[in-house]
A and B are shown apart, each in its own frame.
Chain A
């Protein structure tokens, strides 16, 4: 088992600055072989965790984006009907059993993310993104898959997992997940990073950002998050803003209050928020950054 420090280091190398608790969560994932459920506001970097995990394990990331109406044929497997039909036509007159055996073989099976994830030689990271958007029925089905790691295809029989994938689920909390699914998973609440961690994230992700500028940006964003906003800016927005400031050539926020105010559009995504962040508010927040 890797220690937490090692895990944090490996994640950092792949561009994700984890807090100590997340490193614990990941070491538990390996130890207990349970899926990890990440919850948190939009834009705090839930999906990034899975990406970093995949690159840390040097393995494939298989992503299943959930949406309303997602069903087995889009998530698990589907038969390649066109090819099956062609095959039937091509072998017209052959005896029925031979045909059946042929068209229900693996050659005609289309792998979808969930099936793909359990049939890789090296355990991949399976990211089930925004599970709260899928229907209750799909959630129940997923629960079954996550406990047995086997799939039964009526025409072909049961397919057991070759390797058990590292499963990461994310949820934005638009719908309450079932207790059964929650219990099956380890739970981690991803919060907005603190100033120090956010500054390190900016430095890791944005080329040309200095330590002092990153810290200023992180402090400024922290101040903005404390304002009464409709949509609180996430880490992705912070990175956009930092990239914009670096691109414009700002080295010190205090030198360029005008630019700061005008580039706030990177952070504020609704008209209401934009009108709330007046010049005065920007200046007040800048005053605290110093």
Chain B
């Protein structure tokens, strides 16, 4: 039963062999590329850790020789402001209020739609899927003004105008996240053997039970990647938030940072500190979902 799994060569070793280079040379090159890409982020982190007063006097790289200039002062200032409206933490919360529902809704609706597209019993599933794929090419900028008008119309008709509210932004993000979400989930779900669903059907599971007891657990890797994509898109979005939340007292981090940079020169400490805070959240999301990227989740299902 237990077959010897052959010891796999590391990817770096494979790469080294292919390029006719020694393994350490490849490592050095990779390290250089990584550092090159990380420099802006590292500098941002360092700037946020230096006192505001030093910003105009010396470059951030002077920390290499004088590490004593590092301080958590900027962070202390930010956090001491608490959740006051217009502060960094207020914006952080607003960003989360937009991003978390937008991510969960896209993951949920995409999985349900994909389930129906793959395993449903209705005609024209492939056509609908093609239409959805086609929607992926629509740039969201095109839809900004029509959607604003549509929101206004909703307000006129039902007295519920989502424009300028957080749900309004969420709805927009969900709508534009769905085509890719459905595309990704549908392609993943079509790899799940139909036998598994039929087995469930015979054993007494209804469609809903099959969905969340059999299909959803198996689709976790796809849902995790979709959630990461969607989270980062929405988290980093400035345009949609600017258009739909322009007048709101609570603004997401992207708008907050944008506001700080507009007023030339000043507030570099708050821009760098806020930016670092805004990087940390997607990083946490990435690392916490990463464990679901398990390869071969379907192993042992059939054959």
Chains A and B bind each other? no
Give the interface of B toward A (CB within 8 A). none
